[in-house]
Chains A and B, each alone.
Chain A
């Protein structure tokens, strides 16, 4: 809404002298894509600083900067070598490795190795897209669902139990497993929804606390007899039957993990677009998010909106969890979506990066999935911890949330300085 208003206002005075700047400036001061790219640049710069200040060889090179004439150049070279190696490993691990590519061209073999990075990125992005849509729909309604991770865990638990305990043909089993995941997420999502609607409890605290509760619940369930892998004392579940698994897109022989789940993600993206742009309930949601007072005045039932949005958001997050299980590991263990694997937390940053719009979320998911997958490769190749990827992601989102700052840093005109507008203002609502 605010976006459209800004556009209308900008078109209203096309002849004003301020508007007559270079094409680049005009383009950049409006486009959220450019803003996101600039934020990404800043994220990588700050990531480089983190690498520099935590790598001994680089620091030593800079410490000896006055020892000889060649030292400053040497220090710069060491810096670029280290940072470059890290970011190169990130790129080759997530997108495309040129040397492997040329090898495949020359020999005509090992195409699967060339495609593995992209396949991994897509595999990681598939549940991330779904989870981010879940967070984004809530955001558009002015609701901050930080509990997507817990809801995804619940979805994963429910899906893995249906997938491993029942035997039936795949045509029924897969939909049933996915439905179980959705229901699991809905159950977890309904708690903050009802509490917010009927007691006014702030959803941020409730969902955050539920994340911890669900993390304990996960271990509790995994250690309970019906769920635990027989003969195991560790917290690990039974493996899903093959009839409940989302098969690899190019067959199991290819070694590429990208699965049919991407079609589910695509369907979710379409659903989100249709829901928010075309359905009347989605319209109510967006009105509530943009202007709660106007929503109330036009007779929208705020409590119903809150409960329904949490059911949808939780259900989608649960779907993300079950897609994650049934397309990759096929079982759930105590580390499922815990710590750096927590796609529900990444989903928050992705939703912000994509400005809560379905297509923006798709691009944001691909980007952050590439960062995560590449970060793993970077850790293996250079020893720099995977956490760097998360640091870069959070820096990017901080900058995306403060567009004016980015524009000031890059000396761009800041007219339509619209940040991410949310209705999560304070504790009162």
Chain B
């Protein structure tokens, strides 16, 4: 963080319980215990699960593949549970100063893995269903990508001190205009540009109202989401329904990176993706480098932490915020196009709160691009599994599964995050004296 960051006097002391690491430790250990009892001892001793690693629609044509791996469900899950318990107990006893979230993340991944093994166990309700790890990772990566776009957008805005709660609305705008342009031109570069422009315009509205007229940024954000969802529903009925060729829902084709895409597991997940995925990686590294290693980043962070001090050394606070908000929201617009390009034709309400989950990923990732990536991956996998576990005959109803991503978001925001410290001037209107 910048050294300028003396908290402003008005910042209320935050309610942070002492020993939160311990709380996370208890939760982690509890998760492990659940895995041990339900997924480990809960599956019979002779049950086995089959893990496969070749993607289902194998266009990759790998020269060598990994065969199916058959594991004994009970003992693998017991091991996973014991590892999670060990991590939790270590956190309770030793209270490590850092890395609580990483440890929790590992336990969460173990939990999901055990859940999959348990769901696909052979003498069990869904016999013969193999757990295709690579397919799961590919499916999750699409959601994670969108979440990371959203979180990056939030980082750009909030590091400069403007709360962007309207990521959901910007996704909708990007997806809508992206779909129209992609359907008419069949050119995803143009569609991306359209999404970015739509986002930039929305960003301009947010910046204009909150910077020039000092409106409450959260109110403006919430109202913008309402407006975008009703506007998209309106235009969907008025324009897209009569002209279905404006919304054909062509998906972005994958670009395979030569040689690398043939690596098993990693290849199809990382090197055989649409252009949006690669662009996301470029953006993450650009923003990460820019924010923490360049003069521009130092200025942005100064504006977000202590605008008065920034102004006194000659930084134009308002202009910095304008630029960051417009660029940031344009990123969210591209995220909307990316969502459309991976999910298909625009439908009203099909982002289903992903923009808010991205916001939570931003907080979980502590306003850092690298954190946003890990949060996006964790949320992406859990959201994907919640949507796709229905293929297994597990005794949990669809509706309860559907709640999972949102419940996880609440849990994360509510306290797993540990000590979050947003940019000190985040959301506070700034007026030059």
Interface residues of B in 1-18 (CB under 8 A from A): 10-12, 14-17
Q: Mark B222-233, 1 if CB is under 8 A from A, else 0.
A: 111011001101
Minimum C-beta distance from A32 to chain B (A): 15
How far is A384 from B406 in the complex, measured between Cα atoms in Å?
34
B209 close to chain A: CB less than 8 A: yes
Q: Mark B363-402, 1 if CB is under 8 A from A, else 0.
A: 1000000000000000000000000000000000101101
For A223, what are the chain B residues with a Cβ–Cβ distance below 8 Å? Answer: 397, 399
B420 close to chain A: CB less than 8 A: yes
B60 close to chain A: CB less than 8 A: no
Q: Assuming the A-B contacts A216-B400, A385-B233, are A206 and B413 also in contact, with contact meaning beta carbons closer than 8 angstroms in the complex?
A: yes
Minimum C-beta distance from B303 to chain A (A): 14
How far is A149 from B11 in the complex, measured between Cα atoms in Å?
30
**Which chain A residue has the least Cβ–Cβ distance from B355?**
A208
Contact of B356 with A209 in the complex, beta carbons under 8 Å = yes
Q: Mark B401-433, 1 if CB is under 8 A from A, else 0.
A: 011001101100111000010101111100000
Q: Assuming the A-B contacts A385-B238, A428-B14, are A205 and B360 also in contact, with contact meaning beta carbons closer than 8 angstroms in the complex?
A: yes
Contact of B422 with A397 in the complex, beta carbons under 8 Å = no
- Of A191, A195, A216, A419, which is within 8 A of B216 by CB? A419
A217 close to chain B: CB less than 8 A: yes
Contact of B413 with A220 in the complex, beta carbons under 8 Å = no
Minimum C-beta distance from B193 to chain A (A): 21
B68 close to chain A: CB less than 8 A: no
A422 close to chain B: CB less than 8 A: yes
**Which chain A residue has the least Cβ–Cβ distance from B168?**
A208
Contact of B218 with A398 in the complex, beta carbons under 8 Å = no
- Of A199, A202, A387, which is within 8 A of B237 by CB? A387
Contact of B15 with A199 in the complex, beta carbons under 8 Å = yes
For A191, what are the chain B residues with a Cβ–Cβ distance below 8 Å? Answer: 410
How far is A394 from B229 in the complex, measured between Cα atoms in Å?
11
Contact of A419 with B215 in the complex, beta carbons under 8 Å = yes
Q: Assuming the A-B contacts A54-B238, A200-B16, A427-B422, are A398 and B209 also in contact, with contact meaning beta carbons closer than 8 angstroms in the complex?
A: yes
Q: Assuming the A-B contacts A54-B238, A303-B15, A339-B349, are A293 and B10 also in contact, with contact meaning beta carbons closer than 8 angstroms in the complex?
A: yes
Interface residues of B in 191-242 (CB under 8 A from A): 209, 213-216, 218-220, 222-224, 226-227, 230-231, 233-235, 237-239
Contact of B409 with A209 in the complex, beta carbons under 8 Å = yes
Contact of A204 with B165 in the complex, beta carbons under 8 Å = yes
Could you tell me the dominant secondary structure of chain A's interface residues? helix
Contact of A204 with B218 in the complex, beta carbons under 8 Å = yes
How far is A113 from B171 in the complex, measured between Cα atoms in Å?
44
Contact of A209 with B231 in the complex, beta carbons under 8 Å = no
- Which of A202, A205, A220 gathers the greatest number of chain B CB atoms within 10 Å? A205
How far is A427 from B161 in the complex, measured between Cα atoms in Å?
11
Minimum C-beta distance from A35 to chain B (A): 13
A349 close to chain B: CB less than 8 A: yes
B284 close to chain A: CB less than 8 A: no
**Which chain B residue has the least Cβ–Cβ distance from A212?**
B406
B147 close to chain A: CB less than 8 A: no
- Of A199, A209, A296, A405, which is within 8 A of B213 by CB? A405
Minimum C-beta distance from A69 to chain B (A): 31
For B359, what are the chain A residues with a Cβ–Cβ distance below 8 Å? Answer: 205
For B238, what are the chain A residues with a Cβ–Cβ distance below 8 Å? Answer: 54-55, 384-385
Contact of B410 with A340 in the complex, beta carbons under 8 Å = no
Interface residues of A in 184-202 (CB under 8 A from B): 191, 195, 197-202
Q: Mark B350-363, 1 if CB is under 8 A from A, else 0.
A: 00110011011001
B156 close to chain A: CB less than 8 A: no
For A200, what are the chain B residues with a Cβ–Cβ distance below 8 Å? Answer: 14-16, 415
Contact of B403 with A213 in the complex, beta carbons under 8 Å = yes
Contact of B218 with A195 in the complex, beta carbons under 8 Å = no
Minimum C-beta distance from B350 to chain A (A): 13
How far is A195 from B23 in the complex, measured between Cα atoms in Å?
14
Contact of B234 with A210 in the complex, beta carbons under 8 Å = no
For A50, what are the chain B residues with a Cβ–Cβ distance below 8 Å? Answer: 231, 234
**Which chain B residue has the least Cβ–Cβ distance from A429?**
B12
B157 close to chain A: CB less than 8 A: no
A424 close to chain B: CB less than 8 A: yes
- Which of A146, A199, A345, A395 gathers the greatest number of chain B CB atoms within 10 Å? A199
How far is A117 from B307 in the complex, measured between Cα atoms in Å?
53
How far is A398 from B210 in the complex, measured between Cα atoms in Å?
11
Minimum C-beta distance from A424 to chain B (A): 5
Minimum C-beta distance from A175 to chain B (A): 31
Contact of B406 with A398 in the complex, beta carbons under 8 Å = no
A390 close to chain B: CB less than 8 A: yes
Minimum C-beta distance from B419 to chain A (A): 10
**Which chain B residue has the least Cβ–Cβ distance from A56?**
B242
Interface residues of A in 50-104 (CB under 8 A from B): 50, 54-55
How far is A197 from B15 in the complex, measured between Cα atoms in Å?
8
Contact of A387 with B231 in the complex, beta carbons under 8 Å = yes
A426 close to chain B: CB less than 8 A: yes
For A208, what are the chain B residues with a Cβ–Cβ distance below 8 Å? Answer: 353, 356
How far is A198 from B349 in the complex, measured between Cα atoms in Å?
33
**Which chain A residue has the least Cβ–Cβ distance from B12?**
A429
**Which chain B residue has the least Cβ–Cβ distance from A338?**
B349
**Which chain B residue has the least Cβ–Cβ distance from A202?**
B413
Interface residues of B in 37-71 (CB under 8 A from A): none
Q: Mark B61-96, 1 if CB is under 8 A from A, else 0.
A: 000000000000000000000000000000000000
Contact of B234 with A391 in the complex, beta carbons under 8 Å = yes
Q: Assuming the A-B contacts A54-B238, A427-B363, are A198 and B17 also in contact, with contact meaning beta carbons closer than 8 angstroms in the complex?
A: yes
For B397, what are the chain A residues with a Cβ–Cβ distance below 8 Å? Answer: 220, 223
For A198, what are the chain B residues with a Cβ–Cβ distance below 8 Å? Answer: 15, 17
B163 close to chain A: CB less than 8 A: yes
Contact of B220 with A398 in the complex, beta carbons under 8 Å = yes
Contact of A427 with B219 in the complex, beta carbons under 8 Å = no
Contact of A391 with B218 in the complex, beta carbons under 8 Å = no
How far is A191 from B224 in the complex, measured between Cα atoms in Å?
26
Please list 12 pairs of residues, one from A and one from B, whose beta carbons are closer than 8 Å in the complex, sorted by A's number. Answer: A205-B359, A209-B406, A210-B410, A216-B402, A216-B403, A219-B399, A394-B230, A395-B227, A397-B219, A405-B209, A422-B216, A426-B428
17 new A-B pairs (CB below 8 Å) besides A405-B213, A420-B219? A50-B231, A144-B218, A144-B222, A201-B414, A209-B413, A212-B353, A213-B410, A340-B230, A388-B230, A401-B219, A402-B213, A420-B215, A422-B219, A424-B219, A424-B427, A428-B422, A429-B14
